[in-house]
Amino acid sequence: MSDVPSIWPALTCTDPRAMITFLTTAFGLSERVVYGDGAVVHHAELTYTGPNGQTGGIMLGPAETDCGRAPGTSSIHVVVDDPDARFATARAAGATVVRALEDTDYGSRQFVVTDPEGNLWSFGTWYE
């Protein structure tokens, strides 16, 4: 079985190169591929490995494409095993806190922040 995700949410960005730097630094995503030249990014794929080894991916590209919503209008949830550490890393990298760390009544520890483009990112432990 391949570790390449089969569903790829897509973000359009006003500054894809800066977004790649932010997402890898603040949220722990990894570059899979980046197509472009210098500061110009035509298409990028970033991946994430969750606490149980499951993988996820996100694509991003310039706002001028017709392959996604307007920059800053998406919402993404990421399952993590240590939301406290991820929260600290996200804040240190400049993420804007929308909802601070909290324990929910349904068993998740989570928080919500925005990236520099304004997209909402929630991070939390998985619950069942």
Record the pTM.
0.85
- Where residue 72 falls (left for φ over 0; alpha for ψ -120 to 50; beta otherwise) is left
Sketch out the chain's domains with CATH numbers: 10-63+72-124 (3.10.180.10)
- Both tokens assigned to 121: 């990112």
Q: Are 76 and 10 in contact (CB under 8 A)?
A: no
User: Please, what is the Cα angle at 19 between 18 and 22, to 5 degrees?
Assistant: 90
Phi, psi of 71 (to 5 degrees): -50, 140
Give the per-residue pLDDT at 124: 93
Q: Which amino acid is at 125?
A: T
Q: Are 75 and 7 in contact (CB under 8 A)?
A: no
Sign of the dihedral defined by the CA atoms of residues 107, 73, 33, 2, in that order: positive
Query: Over its length of 128 residues, how does the chain's per-residue pLDDT go in tens digits?
Result: 456 667 788 899 999 999 999 999 999 999 999 999 888 899 999 999 888 888 889 999 888 776 678 888 999 999 999 999 999 999 999 999 999 999 999 889 999 999 999 999 999 997 65
Give the per-residue pLDDT at 72: 87
* Residue that has been written with the tokens 């890393």 in this structure: 89
